[in-house]
Structure 1
Amino acid sequence: MSAHRGSRTRLAALAAVVPLTLLAACSQGTGSSGGEDGEIRMMVNLTDNLDQAYWEKLVKPFEDKTGLKVKIEGPTGKSVAESFPQQLAAGTAPDVIQSIFPDDDTAPELLDLSDEAWAGDTPMFDEYAIGDAHYAVGVGTQTQSLVYYNKTAFQKAGIKGTPTTWDVLADDMAKLKKAGYTPMQTAGDYMTGLQLQQIFHPALNQAHPKWQSDVKGEKLTVGDAYEPVFKKYAEWIGDGYIRKSDVGLNPSQADGNFVGGKVGLYTNGSWFAATLDKAGKLPFEVGVFSPPVDDSKSYPGPQGATMANPYMVNKGATDADGAKQLVEYMVTDPAAVETQLGSDGVFRQGSEVEQTGVSSRIQSVLDDAPELVAVGEGQGNVRLPVTGFNPKFTEVAQSLYTGASPADAAKAIDQWVDENR
C-alpha cells in the first residue's frame, strides 16, 4: 500500500503542470476518463510514417470484428512518456498506452497481464517483468547488437568470412585499412557509447549474465565489466581502425559514409535497415553478423535487444476487457503483427513474415541468437541501480579518443555509479 500511495503522490505532483482543460476533466472522476459507449482510447506515438491514418487503418479489422470503436490519440505533451503520467494524475489517462514501459510510479496504475494466455508467447515478455508482474507486451524487438559490413570491401581486402572472435575482428580491420577503407565507422553524439555497448553485448553477457543485476547487488562493477572492451577500443583507435575525428561526426554523416561505400564495418541496431532501404540501390551488397565473442565462448552470443511496440492497459480503463482484447489483437493477430513488423526496424524471433535483402539477414541473426538480453541501464528486473547511464557511458567512451586510458575510463564510470546510486 505504501508504494501505491507514494506513486499517487508523485503522479499528483505532475498534475501541477497539466493543462487546465485536463484538470477540469479530472473533477469528473478518477482513472480513465473514458470515451463514448464501446470506445477504447489508445494513446500512441505519432510519427511521420506512423501517423493517424496508419493507426486507424491498423485497428480497423479489430473494430469490424468486435464492434468496438478505437479512438487513436497522440500525446498531449511532447511525448507519450511525458503525457501518460500527467494524464494519470489528472484522471484522464487512456485505456491503452503504446510505445513506453512501466516504471515504479506507473506500474501500480496498470493491469498485470501475467494470467492472459496469449501474452506469455509475446517477445521478451519475461525480460520486462517487474517483480512477478507483467505490465507490458510487445509486437517484436529492436535488435541492438548488429555489425553491418560492406561485402565488396571484404572481398577486396581478401576477407573470406565474418569474424567470430575479437582477434579475427582485429585482423580483418587491419586488412580493410590496407585495402583503403575505413575499417570501423563510429560517430559522435549518443552513438559513441551506444556502438561500444552494442558490439560488446554478446561477450559481456556471456562473461556476466544479467550483469546489471550483479552491479546492483554489488557483485560486479561497471568498470570491471567494461574495461576489457575499453582496452580493445583504445587499441583500435591507436591502430587507426577507428578515426579519431569520428568522435565529432554526426551520426547521420556516419550513416552516409557507410552507404557511400567508404566503410568496412558499422555497428548499429536493426533500425538502420530502414536507412538502407531509403538509400535505394547501393554500389555494394550489405551483410550483417552478430558481434564477436571471446575465444573460449560459443558463437553467437546473447543478442542485445529491446521490446518494440509495447502496449500496456490502464487499470482504470472504462472497458478493461475490451482494452485487453485490443492489446491481444495488436500483438498476436498475424496481419496486425506483419504490418507493425514492417515499420521502424522491428523484428520478431521466429517470425514467418517474409523478409528481403538486409532485413532477411537481420532476421537470421535474431533467430540464431541463443537468448535476448537487456541493454544499457536494463529493463524489468534486470536493471542498474542508476538512471542516466547511457549519456555518461558515452562521455566515458569519448574520453578514450582524447587520451584517457582504459583504466581511467573504468574508474570514471565506477565513480559516477557510486555517486548516483
Structure 2
Amino acid sequence: MSRSRPSGPISHSRLGSSMGVAGATMLVLALVAGCGGGGFESTDSSDPDSGSTGTVRMLVNITPNLTKSYWKGLVAPFEKANPGIKVQIDAPTSSDGGVDTTLPQLLAAGSPPDVVEGSHSVKVLPQLRDLSDLTWAASAPMADAQRRDGHLYDVAIGQQAQSLIFYNKTAFTKAGIDKPPATMQELTADMAKLKKAGYLPMQTAGEWVTQAQVMMLFDATLTADDADWFRKAADGKQSLSRDLGPSLALYKSWLDKGYLDKNALGVKYPEGESEFLSGTSALYPMGCWFVAAEAQAKKNFDVGVFAAPQLNSSNPPRLAVTPGANYRIFKASKHQSAAAKLVEFLTTDHAAVESQLKQDSSFRTGYPYQLSPLADEVQKLFDASKDNQAIVGSGEYQMPAGFEDAENKEIQSLYTGADPATALKNVDNWLKAQPK
C-alpha cells in the first residue's frame, strides 16, 4: 500500500510540507507529566553510552505499510545480536501523524528521541549529531548530496525516483500508441489520442499532488543542462519564471484541452490513485512508492512506467531522485554508541536494507527485490540512470521551507483561470523574500 503522503519526498523540501499542530501545549504538558502512563519517557537506567546496553528510542513514520509491528520485526534481529540493547518504537503523536510535526513537541518537552526516521526538517539540524566521522554513514546512498556546509546528518537506505509517469498499457494499445513518448511534444500528441479513445489522459488530484506532479513532470527539463539546478534554485540563483515558464505553459494547455480534469482540486490523493487503478485514466505522474499500491490492486490491465521526458529533447532524461528512508541521531541522546549501532544495522545490513526498500518501494542499485513486474521496470530505469540523475529535496538541494505550499497555491490557481507567467512570478517573488 502507498504512503498517505510520500517521504521525500516529495521532498523538494519531500516526501514534504507540515501543518500546524492543534493542542500542542496540552500534549507537551501530558508528555512531561506522563512518566508512568506510557508516552515517550524511557525508564532505562543502564550505562548510558556503553554501546552494549540501553534502550534506544526511535521515532518512525507509521503508515499502512510501515506499521508498528513491521518496525518491531525489522529491529528484532538487531536486538537478538545485541541482547543488552532494546529498541523502543515510537509513533508520531501530532494531529497530522507526521514525524516532523511531532518532533517540536518532543523537543519542547525535553524528550527528544535517540533516533528519528524520515525527518526532513531543517529546524532540528542544530540538535542532530554530525555523522561525517562514521565511515559507514559517509558511504551511504546520496551521502554527499545530503551534506549541509560539509556536515552529514542523514543516512539513507536507498533512493526514491520522483520523475516517473505510470501508464495504462491497455489504454495505450486502444489509442494506437506503441511505445512511451520520448518528448513532451510526443506526450501531448499521445494524450490527444487517449482522450479520443475515451480515457481521461492524465490523472491528477488536489491537496499536495498538483504541485508535486508538475515538478515530477518537468524535473528532467529543469535539470537538462544543469544537474545542480535545485541547489542553485535554493540559493536564489535560478528563476522559475525563466526555467519552468515554457513547461507550465504547456501544462496549462493540457488543462485547457481537457487532458487534465478541471475539477481535480476536489480530488484527494488516495482517490486520484484509485481512479487511475480503476482504469478510467491513462497516465499517472507519481513517485516510485506507487509500485507498492499497484502490486496490491485488483485491476484488469497492466501498468507500465517511463521517465518523464524533456520538453524539447529526445535525449535520455535525468531521473530526479531523493533519499529514501533516512535516519538521524540526536546529540541529546544518552545512548550515542547504541544509537549509531542501530542506524548502521538499518542502513548496511543487507536483509534489513532489502526489507525496507521493498516495504516502502525505494530502490538501490545492487539490492533488487521481488515485488511485481512494475517494480522490476522501475529498478531498470533506476539502474540505467545511475550516471544521469538529478538530486531533489535533499541537503543543499532542498528548497526553502514552505516552497511546496507557495508553489502549490500558484499552480492550483491555473485551475481557476490564472495564467502561468503570473503564477511563476509570484513564486519567484516568494523565493526572493526567503532568508538565504
The TM tier, using the shorter chain, reads 0.7 to 0.9
286-295 or 43-52: which moved more?
43-52
Question: Identical aligned pairs, as a percentage?
Answer: 38
Q: CA deviation at 1:43?
A: 2.0
Contact 1:25 1:90 in 2 (8 A): no
In structure 2, how many angstroms separate the alpha carbons of the residues matched to 1:233 and 1:48?
Answer: 32
**Which residue does the alignment assign to 1:83?**
102
Q: Name which of 88, 92, 98 aligns with 2:117.
A: 98
Label 1:379 to 1:183 Cα distance change in 2 as closer, same or farther (>3 A): same
**Which residue does the alignment assign to 1:292?**
309
Label 1:35 to 1:273 Cα distance change in 2 as closer, same or farther (>3 A): same
In structure 1, how many angstroms separate the alpha carbons of the residues matched to 2:391 and 2:265?
Answer: 26
- 1:359-370 aligned within 5 A: 359-369=375-385, 370=387
Contact 1:102 1:136 in 2 (8 A): no
Whichever residue aligns with residue 167 of structure 1, its letter is: Q
In structure 2, how many angstroms separate the alpha carbons of the residues matched to 1:404 and 1:194?
Answer: 19
Partner SS for 2:223 = helix
Partner SS for 1:206 = coil
- 1:3-402 aligned within 5 A: 19-20=28-29, 22-23=31-32, 35-37=44-46, 38=53, 39-67=55-83, 68-78=85-95, 79-101=98-120, 103=122, 105-280=123-298, 282-296=299-313, 298-301=315-318, 303-369=319-385, 370-375=387-392, 378-384=393-399, 386-402=400-416
RMSD: 2.6
In structure 1, how many angstroms separate the alpha carbons of the residues matched to 2:113 and 2:262?
Answer: 48
Name stretches of at least 5 consecutive residues in structure 2 with no aligned partner: 1-23, 36-40, 47-52
Q: CA deviation at 1:23?
A: 4.3
Q: CA deviation at 1:335?
A: 1.2
Q: CA deviation at 1:380?
A: 1.1
Q: CA deviation at 1:324?
A: 0.7
Contact 2:205 2:265 in 1 (8 A): yes
- Give the structure with higher Rg (CA): 1
Q: Deviations over 1:115-150 (max 9, x none)?
A: 222123322222221111111111222321110111
Q: Which structure shows the bigger proportion of residues in helix conformation?
A: 1
Q: CA deviation at 1:344?
A: 2.8
Label 1:18 to 1:190 Cα distance change in 2 as closer, same or farther (>3 A): closer
Q: Deviations over 1:229-280 (max 9, x none)?
A: 1111122123332232334333333223221222221111122222222322
Q: CA deviation at 1:25?
A: 9.3
Name stretches of at least 5 consecutive residues in structure 1 with no aligned partner: 1-14, 27-31
Q: CA deviation at 1:208?
A: 4.1
Whichever residue aligns with residue 107 of structure 2, its letter is: L
Label 1:76 to 1:294 Cα distance change in 2 as closer, same or farther (>3 A): closer
Label 1:81 to 1:224 Cα distance change in 2 as closer, same or farther (>3 A): same
In structure 2, how many angstroms separate the alpha carbons of the residues matched to 1:287 and 1:80?
Answer: 32
Partner SS for 1:381 = helix
Label 1:93 to 1:249 Cα distance change in 2 as closer, same or farther (>3 A): closer
Q: CA deviation at 1:24?
A: 6.5
Contact 1:135 1:312 in 2 (8 A): yes
Label 1:249 to 1:117 Cα distance change in 2 as closer, same or farther (>3 A): same
In structure 2, how many angstroms separate the alpha carbons of the residues matched to 1:353 and 1:257?
Answer: 27
140-149 or 211-220: which moved more?
211-220
Partner SS for 1:71 = strand
Label 1:373 to 1:189 Cα distance change in 2 as closer, same or farther (>3 A): same
